[in-house]
């Protein structure tokens, strides 16, 4: 509907310009798509800026099938390798060649910046807005503003828990990831003759649905099995955060823990540095079972080397699914409200069996070999 009105206005302006030029006065319509910048967030406009159809010197009135679909993407930030892969997925899909003009805002893990970015997208008249919500709440007001302006919102990765005013969500079941981690640990400990689990958890960013789900899922199994979670602190999904928390843990709990759960790979890298410095051995044959989430390729190398015992994938490549949702909306179809990504549970050794049962569903455990590594897209 928005496109039809824009076309009609463009046509009227071309006709008006024609009338003006015959009377010797011209008006220049220099509408451009400026990507609003905010102090705290880097912004880029990845596709060529499209001028308003009426100013095309070819007289082209910007037939709808020739226009680029304007997509605004408010990304969490740049805190992890996973995030880098997520951003690249969007930048690879939402290109001019694919019919898009992408306006990207890195919100630097700042929720206020993210809300500003979405409001700027509304002002800029985006056709669609993609959000990866830094935190799960505080969204209903701005999503209502998007709805009032007729701009469909697609949420990816993390969830919005206080509003359903979006067309689709594409992402992972974070609680399932946490449950899978717990079920694998149960099977692994049994196979290794480990009868007591004293775990330390390095959580992701506070309030992020990924943190909430992974924490909830693992704790459900820990409570069921009678394990002890000695501590659970925020490492903010960063390597520095993981190292800082693990340094503290090595001081406070030295000799008391035999499992460390890092809620993403970057935290695991930091935890390894801290444990190396503290003389704590981990991984296959180590004193501590070390587990991570995300399963980036670099982390899977460490699984193959035995430095990580297991890594539970969180798939960052949501953009192709979002592209499909936009195409459905463009065609007047209703997309699925929830679209789950496929994910794999990777392990260093074939010890816990070939499968685990997670929430009633039998799921494969994949031993990381060179062949598995070579097949990984990110």
**Size of the chain, expressed as the number of residues it contains:** 378
Residue with tokens 């035999």: 258
Residue 376 tokens read as 């990984």
Binding mask of the shown chain, residues 185 to 224, with x at each position contacting ligand GZL by CB under 6 A = -------------------x---x-x--------------
> Which of 70, 83, 186, 307 lies at the binding interface for ligand GZL (CB under 6 A)?
83
* Residues 270, 239 contacting (CB under 8 angstroms): yes
- The residue (of 101 and 132) whose beta carbon lies closer to ligand GZL is 132
| Cβ neighbourhood burial of 201 (10 Å; 0-12, 13-18, 19+) | buried
Q: Is residue 264 part of the contact set for ligand GZL (CB under 6 A)?
A: yes
Q: Which residues pair with 170 in a beta bridge?
A: 156, 339
Nearer to ligand GZL, 131 or 314 (CB): 314
CA dihedral 361, 362, 368, 372 (to 10 degrees): -80
Binding pattern for the stretch 272-301 against ligand GZL, x by CB under 6 A and - elsewhere: ---------------------xx-------
Write out the binding residues for ligand GZL, residues 22-81 only, by CB under 6 A. Answer: 79-80
Instruction: List the one residue from 172, 243, 292, 363 that touches ligand GZL (CB under 6 A).
Output: 172
184 interacts with ligand GZL by CB under 6 A: no
Q: Work out which of 157, 183, 321, 343 binds ligand GZL, going by CB under 6 A.
A: 157
Which of 193/377 has CB closer to ligand GZL? Answer: 377
Residue 117 CB, shortest distance to ligand GZL, in Å, is 17
**In the set 237, 269, 312, 345, which binds ligand GZL (CB under 6 A)?**
237
First to last CA, the chain: 39
CA angle, residues 178, 179, 181, in degrees to nearest 5: 65
Q: What is the DSSP string of 235-277?
A: -TTSHHHHHHHHHHHHHHSTTT-SEEEESSHHHHHHHHHHHHH
On whether the CB atoms of residues 36 and 120 are closer than 8 A, the answer is yes
CA angle 244, 250, 255 (to 5 degrees): 165
* Smallest distance, ligand GZL to C-beta of residue 176, A: 12
Tokens 């190396």, located at residue: 276
Contacts with ligand GZL by CB under 6 A: the residue count is 15
- C-beta closer to ligand GZL: residue 183 or 294: 294
Residue 312 binds ligand GZL (CB under 6 A) = no
109 near ligand GZL, rule: CB under 6 A: no
Site for ligand GZL, rule CB under 6 A: 79-80, 82-83, 157-158, 172, 204, 208, 210, 237, 264, 293-294, 314
């Amino acid at each position: 509907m928005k496109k039809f009105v824009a076309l009609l206005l463009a046509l009227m302006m071309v006709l008006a310009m024609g009338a003006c030029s015959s009377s010797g006065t011209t008006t220049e319509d220099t509408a451009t798509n400026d990507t609003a910048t905010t102090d705290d967030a880097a912004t880029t406009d990845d596709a060529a800026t499209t001028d308003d159809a009426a100013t095309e010197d070819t007289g082209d009135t910007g037939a709808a099938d020739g226009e680029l679909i304007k997509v605004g993407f408010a990304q969490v930030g740049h805190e992890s390798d996973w995030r880098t892969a997520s951003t690249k997925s969007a930048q690879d899909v939402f290109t001019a060649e694919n019919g898009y003009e992408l306006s990207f805002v890195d919100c630097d893990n700042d929720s206020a910046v993210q809300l500003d970015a979405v409001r700027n997208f509304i002002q800029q008249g985006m056709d669609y807005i993609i959000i990866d919500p830094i935190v799960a709440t505080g969204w209903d007001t701005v999503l209502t503003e998007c709805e009032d302006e007729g701009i469909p919102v697609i949420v990816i990765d993390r969830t919005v828990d206080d509003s359903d005013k979006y067309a689709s969500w594409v992402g992972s079941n974070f609680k399932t990831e946490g449950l899978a981690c717990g079920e694998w640990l149960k099977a692994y400990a049994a196979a290794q003759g480990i009868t007591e689990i004293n775990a330390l958890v390095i959580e992701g960013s506070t309030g992020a649905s990924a943190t909430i789900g992974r924490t909830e899922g693992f704790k459900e199994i820990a409570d069921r099995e009678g394990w002890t979670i000695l501590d659970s602190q925020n490492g903010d999904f960063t390597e520095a955060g993981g190292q800082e928390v693990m340094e503290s843990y090595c001081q406070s709990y030295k000799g008391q823990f035999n499992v460390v759960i890092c809620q993403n790979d970057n935290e695991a890298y930091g935890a390894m540095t801290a444990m190396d410095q503290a003389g704590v051995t981990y991984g296959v044959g180590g004193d501590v079972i070390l587990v991570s989430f995300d399963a980036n390729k670099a982390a899977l190398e460490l699984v193959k080397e035995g430095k990580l015992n297991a890594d539970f994938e969180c798939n960052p490549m949501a953009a192709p699914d979002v592209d499909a949702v936009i195409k459905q909306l463009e065609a007047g179809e209703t997309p699925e409200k929830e679209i789950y990504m496929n994910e794999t549970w990777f392990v260093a050794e074939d010890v816990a069996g070939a499968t685990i049962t997670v929430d009633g569903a039998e799921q494969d455990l994949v031993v990381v070999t060179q062949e598995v590594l070579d097949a990984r897209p990110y």
